[in-house]
Amino acid sequence: MPRELRVEAIRRRLQVAFDPVELEVFDDSHQHVGHEGARDGRGHYRVRVVSAVFAGMSPVARHRAVYAAVDDLLQTDIHALAIQASAPAG
């Protein structure tokens, strides 16, 4: 899958799973050119998700939920995923 479509695929899955009030997806693959894990064509991404779904969840549980939402992409398109997941303040 082309890189620009990967960002949209990640965004779609997170939107459906968490109905976030804030969602950002960044493609950081260009920072990892030549990296061992980048050789297979999969990318490095960073997400920031703010959703009421995360209220009361531990940071580990939030990360697991995000990984579950993009699980199929972790097998085919994502080499690394940095996650910032939180509940809305207030």
For 2-44, how does the pLDDT look when each residue is reduced to its tens digit (9 = 90+)?
666 889 999 999 999 999 999 999 988 755 555 565 555 568 8
User: Mean pLDDT lowest for which of 40-49, 51-60, 72-81?
Assistant: 40-49
In the chain, helix, strand, coil percent, each to 5? Answer: 50, 25, 25
Structure tokens at 3: 């890189």
Q: Which residues pair with 86 in a beta bridge?
A: 50
Its CATH class, for the domain covering 3-86, is alpha beta
- Local confidence band at 80 (pLDDT 50, 70, 90 cut-offs): confident
pTM strictly above 0.95 = no
pLDDT at 77: 84
In the predicted model, what is the mean pLDDT of residues 72-77? 89
